[in-house]
Amino acid sequence: MLKAESTSAPSGGAGLQSNASACACSRADRHGAEIRAALLTDLDALVALERHFPGDRLSRTSLRRLLHRASAEVWVYEAAGCVAGDAVLLYRRNSAQARLYSLVVHPRYQGRGIARALLKHAERAAALRGRGCLSLEVRATNAPALRLYQKAGFNLVRQIAGYYEDHAPALRLEKPIAGAM
């Protein structure tokens, strides 16, 4: 499980009915899957994805709040009507940086490039909001996630002791994204 600890509409429009075929601005991949803004109707699927992560899970309440925040975007990777992964981006007012708050791929769908696709989408979304840098925190022992982020050009900024609820350290990674569109 990977987790960081476009012209598509951000998830701030939650509450609308999910209709992937009506999402004209989504980016479909070569297998008919798409990355689209999460909707309130995706909440159960988002919560289910969180259950596969070993710790520091986002609660249903937190996910619902993120779906409604103008300073957050929640994107889902949908394949054959199934939400196979998600990415949560956070933005601060007057900041040149976006934060990849969470990136999760269901274990059944890992190894298919979904995390990489969500990461690229997050970079484009942040660039569209005028951000020049994407940051994230990742568990220091999460080797698959670290490989993904290193291959994508992220650089280690610092280690943060006791970051996670089990007091494990996190690594803060950043990547310049100017021109990422």
Choose, from 77, 91, 101, 149, the residue flagged as catalytic: 149
Catalytic: 5?
no
Choose, from 73, 78, 137, 174, the residue flagged as catalytic: 137
Catalytic: 123?
no
Nearest to 31 by CA among 110, 118, 103, 112: 112
Q: What residue ranges in the chain does DSSP mark as E strands?
A: 27-28, 34-37, 72-79, 82-91, 97-105, 133-139, 155-160, 170-176
Tokens at 125, concatenated: 């979304």
- Please count the other Cβ atoms lying within 10 Å of the Cβ belonging to residue 74: 26
- Catalytic residue list: 137, 149
